[in-house]
Amino acid sequence: MTRFDADTEAARIELVADTVAAHRDRDSQFCTLEAAADASDTPESLPPWVQFADGTLNLDCTDGELEALHTTLSRYGAFTIADRTTVEPDTAEESPGTNVRIDARADDDRVGQFVDTVFQAVYGLPTDFELWAVEI
């Protein structure tokens, strides 16, 4: 891989597909994609991320995001929830969330499409958000 960020839909989909392929070629434990940090992000509000390993996507969601994820999954038949676990907050100010593992029975390009949709439809990012491959 020669580039690690993208900020258009087509480029982000290609970035995800390339990241998944590089992860597979390198036989790494997992790869991580993360939205670029925004100036308004605080340590309590880190940018959203998605990990991929062995045909499974891993992400954390709030209750509202989990509802949006279910709606998104209804449009992508090759992706199904394999497991979900409640994540207890680290501080009293945070609310509990859910860690979700999604089986992805699709090629790398379709995984890219799904991941791009997750960042927009589930995490509410704008169409021009920047995505980074932060770990391969």
Residue 39: the pLDDT is 43
DSSP secondary structure string, 49-71?
EEEEETTEEEEEE-HHHHHHHHH
Q: How do residues 67-81 score in pLDDT, each as one tens digit?
A: 999 999 999 999 999
Mention every residue, 6+ apart, whose C-beta is less than 8 A from residue 42: none
In the chain, which residues have pLDDT < 50? Answer: 39-40, 42
CB 32 within 8 A of CB 49: yes
Residue 44: the pLDDT is 57
